[in-house]
Amino acid sequence: MFLYEKKLEYPVNIRKKDLKMAKYLMAQYGGPDGELAASLRYMNQRYSMPDDKGRALLTDIACEELNHIEIIAAMIHQLTDGASIDELEKAGLGGHFVQHDHGLFLTDANGVPWMASYIETTGDYIADIESDMAAEQRARATYEHLMDLTNDKDLLGPLSFLRQREIVHYQRFKELRNYYLEKKI
C-alpha cells in the first residue's frame, strides 16, 4: 500500500511557452531511458531480489520514478499550454496534435511510442542491478543534455533536481550491488 501526497516532489512553475523543449522532454516521459520505463523496470525486478533489502530499495525507487513522471508531465503541459495548431506544427508536434490534441501521450522526443521492451529484466539480480545503474547514468546524461538546451531558470530548477535524483539512485543501486557481492548471496 502506498500513501500519495498530492504535491510534486519538486514544484513546477514554468511561465514561458517553449514547444521545442516540451518535445525534447518527451525523452524522459516515454523514452527508453525515461521515468516510466525506470519505474516499471524496478517494480518488475523487485521480485527477483534475494531479500527484503533489495525488494524495498527497488520499490522505493520505482515509486519515486512515478513522481518524476508527474514532474515531467507537468513541465510538458506548462510548456505547451495555450499553444496554437500553427505553433505545434512549427515545433514538429503536428502529428501529435492530430492524434492527441494537447493531451500527453507516452512517446520519446522523436514521437516513437513507449514500448514494454524498455523494461529490462534477466532474473539475475546482480545483472539487473548493474543494468539499473547504467539506466540511471543514461537518464542523468539525458537530463544534462536537456539542461544544455535551455537557459530558462523555470526549467533548469526541476531538471537539475531530477538529474540529482538519478545520481542518488545510481549510488543506492551501487551500494545494493556491493552489499550483495560482499554477502555472496
pLDDT of residue 109: 92
In a domain, 104, yes or no: yes
Q: How many domains does the chain have?
A: 1
CATH assignment of the domain containing 23? 1.20.1260.10
Whether residue 6 is contained in a domain is answered as no
Q: Write down the mean pLDDT value for the chain.
A: 94
Q: What is the pLDDT of residues 119-162, one digit of tens each?
A: 989 999 999 999 999 999 999 999 999 999 999 999 999 999 99
Q: Is 4 a member of any domain?
A: no
- From residue 112, alpha-carbon distances to 30, 41, 57, 95 in Å are 8, 19, 30, 11
Query: Does pLDDT of 55 surpass 80?
Result: yes
Average pLDDT over residues 42-67: 96
Residue 157, burial from CB neighbour count under 10 angstroms (0-12, 13-18, 19+): middle
Does 77 map to a domain?
Answer: yes
Residue 1 has pLDDT above 60, yes or no: no
> Residue 63: its pLDDT value, please?
94
pLDDT cut 70: percent of the chain above it: 99
Kindly state whether residue 37 falls inside one of the protein's structural domains: yes
**Could you give the residue ranges of the DSSP H alpha helices within 31-124?**
35-45, 52-80, 85-90, 94-100
**Band of residue 2 on the pLDDT scale cut at 50, 70, 90:** low
Look at residues 105, 114, 110, 96 and name the one whose alpha carbon lies nearest to residue 32.
114
Q: Is residue 12 part of a domain?
A: no
- Tell me what the mean pLDDT of segment 92-107 comes to: 89
Which range marks the domain in which residue 48 is found? 19-183
Q: How confident is the model at residue 182 (pLDDT cuts 50, 70, 90)?
A: very high
Residue 2 lies in a domain: no
Its sign, for the CA torsion 49, 52, 57, 63, is positive
* Domain-located, residue 13: no
Q: Per-residue pLDDT tens for 23-33?
A: 999 999 999 99
